[in-house]
């Protein structure tokens, strides 16, 4: 009984080795068609970031207008606005425009914010910092 069981295990092991040899001999497809480097498009850094105090709103919050320029928007998909002064940078909003109005529930004089561009390849570029008046 033991010798029959032992022969079955040996046959299975031999079959597995033969299968592995066949796969090795026939080969897996080469990865020549796969890129070895990605062509990442890094967008330019926004410039001239201006934060304008638009004053208090009827709900008791404070309105601000944020605007900036970009040297070449060809590969820019969107912009991200962050608030920097609350620990780790907090993403506030994304927009496709080079200006946006935002509202804070309080007057936030001296609050640091940043704007960065995100490319069509979803790569975020450098940021420019501005301070609320």
CATH number at residue 123: 2.60.40.10
Q: Is residue 9 helix, strand or coil?
A: helix
Instruction: Per residue of the chain (133 residues), give pLDDT as tens.
Output: 555 555 567 777 666 666 666 666 566 556 556 666 777 899 999 999 999 999 999 988 999 999 999 999 999 999 999 999 878 899 999 999 999 999 988 878 899 999 999 999 999 999 999 999 9
- As a residue count, the chain comes to 133
Q: How far is CA 38 from the centre of its chain?
A: 15
Question: Whose CA is closest to 119, among 83, 70, 73, 81?
Answer: 73
Q: Is the pTM of this model over 0.85?
A: no
Answer whether residue 28 is part of any domain. no
- Edge-to-edge strands, sheet with 124-131: 90-95, 76-83, 112-119, 124-131
| Tally of domains within the chain | 1
Question: Quick check: is 11 in a domain?
Answer: no
Neighbours of 66 (CB within 10 A): 23
Q: Is residue 5 part of a domain?
A: no
């Amino acid at each position: 009984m033991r010798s029959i069981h032992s022969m079955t295990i040996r046959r299975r092991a031999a079959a597995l080795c033969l299968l592995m040899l066949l796969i090795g001999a026939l080969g897996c497809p080469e990865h020549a068609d796969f890129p070895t480097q990605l062509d990442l498009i890094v967008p330019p850094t926004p410039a001239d970031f201006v934060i304008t105090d638009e004053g208090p709103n009827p709900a008791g919050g404070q309105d601000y207008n944020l605007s900036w320029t970009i040297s070449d928007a060809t590969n820019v998909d969107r912009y991200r606005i962050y608030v920097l002064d609350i620990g780790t940078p907090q993403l506030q909003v994304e927009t496709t425009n080079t200006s946006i109005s935002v509202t804070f529930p309080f007057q936030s004089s001296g609050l640091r914010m940043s704007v960065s561009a995100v490319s069509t390849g979803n790569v975020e570029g450098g940021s420019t910092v501005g301070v609320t008046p």
